[in-house]
Structure 1
Amino acid sequence: MKILEANVSALTNFEVLDFIRGKGASKDPTRVIAKVAMSEYKVYDYLVNTAAGCQTRENVKEYLTSIKQHELSEAEVLNVLNIRPAAEVELFHIIEDCTVRFPDEEIAEIVELVEKTLPAPSNKETSKEISEGEEETETEKHENVNEISQDQTEDGEQMDTS
Structure 2
Amino acid sequence: MKILEENAGALTNFEVLDFLRAKGASRDPSRVLAKVAMSEYKVYDYLVKTPAGSQTRESVKEYFTAIKQHDLSEAEVLNVLNIRPASEVEIYHIIEDCEERFPDEEVTEIVEKVENTLPAPPDKATPEEITKGDEETETQKHDEISQDQTEDGEQMDTS
TM bin, normalised by shorter chain, reads 0.7 to 0.9
User: 1:54 offset after TM fit, Å?
Assistant: 0.4
Amino acid at match of 1:79: N
Partners of 1:3 and 1:14 in 2: CA distance? 22
Aligned residues: 133
CA 37–69 in structure 1, closer or farther in 2 if over 3 Å, else same: same
The residue that corresponds to 1:108 in the other structure is 108
Q: How does 1:27-46 map to 2 (within 5 A)?
A: 27-46=27-46
Amino acid at match of 1:72: L
CA 3–51 in structure 1, closer or farther in 2 if over 3 Å, else same: farther
Partners of 1:77 and 1:59 in 2: CA distance? 14
Amino acid at match of 1:102: F
The residue that corresponds to 2:145 in the other structure is none
User: 1:135 offset after TM fit, Å?
Assistant: 6.8
TM-score, normalising length from structure 1?
0.78
CA 121–3 in structure 1, closer or farther in 2 if over 3 Å, else same: farther
Find runs of 4+ consecutive structure 1 residues off by over 3 angstroms: 1-4
Q: How does 1:69-84 map to 2 (within 5 A)?
A: 69-84=69-84
CA 3–112 in structure 1, closer or farther in 2 if over 3 Å, else same: farther
Partners of 1:12 and 1:34 in 2: CA distance? 23
The residue that corresponds to 1:8 in the other structure is 8
What is the identity percentage for the equivalent residue pairs of Structure 1 and Structure 2? 74
Amino acid at match of 1:97: D
What's the RMSD between the two structures over aligned residues? 1.6
Is the partner of 1:93 in helix, strand or coil? helix
- 1:131 equivalent in alignment to 2:128: yes
Deviations, residues 107-142 of structure 1 (Å, cap 9, x unaligned): 000000000000011225x22xx2232477xxxxxx
Partners of 2:128 and 2:48 in 1: CA distance? 20
The residue that corresponds to 1:154 in the other structure is none
CA 27–85 in structure 1, closer or farther in 2 if over 3 Å, else same: same
Amino acid at match of 1:131: E
CA 64–100 in structure 1, closer or farther in 2 if over 3 Å, else same: same
Partners of 2:82 and 2:116 in 1: CA distance? 15
TM-score, normalising length from structure 2?
0.79
Structure 1: state its 5+ residue gaps: 137-162
User: 1:3 offset after TM fit, Å?
Assistant: 5.5
Partners of 1:123 and 1:33 in 2: CA distance? 28
- 1:62 equivalent in alignment to 2:67: no
Structure 2: state its 5+ residue gaps: 135-159
Structure richer in helix, relative to its length: 2
Amino acid at match of 1:60: V
Partners of 1:14 and 1:67 in 2: CA distance? 17
Partners of 1:92 and 1:2 in 2: CA distance? 41
Amino acid at match of 2:30: T
Partners of 2:118 and 2:88 in 1: CA distance? 15
User: 1:5 offset after TM fit, Å?
Assistant: 2.1
